[in-house]
Amino acid sequence: MGEKEHREPILDRGLLQVYTGNGKGKTTAALGLALRMTGQGGRVAFIQFMKGWDFYGEIEGLKNLPGLRHERTGTPDYVYRGHESPIDRSEAERGFHLARECIEGGSFDLVVLDELNVVLDYGLLEIEPVLELLRKRPAHVEVLSTGRGAPPALLEAADLVTEMREVRHPYSKGMVSRRGIDY
């Protein structure tokens, strides 16, 4: 299915969703939404910011969803707040250009901007150009932004905000990340 292929959009009106908070499950919930949209015949762009590692389980899984474009940006290094590199900034810009292409083109029903909230919180992108893109998106395009630390201006612009709150996590007892569950 070519990106320029004409077809009727799934949604009459797309919303802006934000999944944020310190709890686990933001990306996982976004993957579920992508699965749901592709299951209805919709087209999805799933753009991951700050996820340059090759070990994420969704990388292979997303290849199996028809109508889904998956893009990753970032380096295979953890980015510490206040220690962002020029490469981190250029990778965030690359992700923003991909987002602009997928949103403005109007051929996707859902555009997931995974970890965009963190990119904005760390100052790797200015928020105003992002908000401008979201405000001017085609009416039928749903956008979901995930990650901790969603800026107040993004929360204010959103139609739906879900906050994942950590109540208990096995990391606090020394358990490490588990393959297939945490990555």
Output the pLDDT for position 170.
84
The boundaries of the domain holding residue 132 are 16-166
The reply to whether 36 falls in a domain is yes
Sequence-ordered alpha helix ranges (H) in 42-177: 57-62, 86-105, 116-121, 127-135, 152-157
The reply to whether 91 falls in a domain is yes
The answer on pLDDT for 2 being more than 60 is no
Identify any residues that bridge with 146 across adjacent strands, giving them in sequence order: 19
The predicted model scores a pTM of 0.92
**For 104-126, what is each residue's pLDDT tens digit?**
999 999 999 999 999 999 999 99
Find the CATH number of the domain harbouring 143.
3.40.50.300
Q: How far apart are CA 131 and CA 11, in angstroms?
A: 21
**For 20-71, what is each residue's pLDDT tens digit?**
999 999 999 999 999 999 999 999 999 999 988 888 888 899 999 999 999 9
Residue 5 pLDDT class (50, 70, 90 cuts): low
Residue 179 pLDDT class (50, 70, 90 cuts): confident
Phi, psi of 155 (to 5 degrees): -60, -40
Output the pLDDT for position 131.
98
Encoded tokens for 156: 């204010």
**What dihedral do alpha carbons 33, 34, 40, 41 form, nearest 10°?**
160
- Residue 46: name the closest of 64, 31, 28, 61 by CA: 31
Q: How far apart are CA 84 and CA 172, in angstroms?
A: 26
The reply to whether 171 falls in a domain is no
Coil, strand, or helix at residue 113?
strand
The reply to whether 78 falls in a domain is yes
Q: How far apart are CA 180 and CA 5, in angstroms?
A: 35
Output the pLDDT for position 6.
63
The reply to whether 30 falls in a domain is yes
The answer on pLDDT for 1 being more than 70 is no
The answer on pLDDT for 3 being more than 80 is no
The reply to whether 43 falls in a domain is yes
The reply to whether 178 falls in a domain is no
The answer on pLDDT for 77 being more than 60 is yes
The reply to whether 7 falls in a domain is no
**For 148-173, what is each residue's pLDDT tens digit?**
999 999 999 999 999 999 999 888 88
Domains in the chain, number: 1
